């Protein structure tokens, strides 16, 4: 997996979040939570896009594989607005996985 693959994966989740958020009423309290999580994920994607990482290291590949595994587990589930608590949980799991990935590859400095 490459750095671009990871950035695209995060972008796909951001799109899923946007679709779910667009399905909620403006006064839905879950909308604020979802938007907060989206902002955090977007900020992490921006950090990744502004730095260059050695994709060929075992650390990068292992961390990317872990992130991809979480992505596979939540794939297609972000649109379940009838289970917004589950959607929020899935987004939080993915956000945590992105944070672990970035920590593993020393993206935070």
Residue-wise pLDDT for 28-69, tens only, equals 999 999 999 999 999 999 999 999 999 999 999 999 999 999
Mean pLDDT of the chain: 94
The tokens for 52 are 């260059």
Residue 50 lies in a domain: yes
Residue 41: domain span: 3-104
Residue 109 lies in a domain: no
Quick one: what percent of the chain has pLDDT higher than 70?
A: 100
User: Dmax of the chain from CA atoms?
Assistant: 46
41-68 core/surface letters (b: 16 or more CB in 10 A; e: else): beebbeebeeeebeeeeeebeebbeebb
Cβ pair 61, 1 in contact under 8 A? yes
Residue 70 lies in a domain: yes
Number of compact structural domains in the chain? 1
């Amino acid at each position: 997996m490459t750095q671009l693959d990871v950035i695209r994966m995060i972008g796909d989740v951001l799109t899923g979040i946007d679709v779910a958020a667009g399905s909620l009423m403006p006064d839905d309290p879950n909308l604020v939570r979802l938007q907060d999580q989206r902002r955090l994920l977007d900020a992490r994607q921006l950090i990744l896009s502004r730095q260059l990482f050695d994709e060929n290291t075992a650390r990068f590949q292992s961390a990317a594989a872990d992130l991809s595994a979480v992505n596979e587990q939540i794939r297609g589930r972000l649109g379940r607005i009838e289970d917004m608590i589950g959607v929020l949980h899935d987004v939080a799991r993915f956000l945590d996985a992105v944070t672990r990935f970035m920590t593993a590859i020393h993206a935070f400095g």
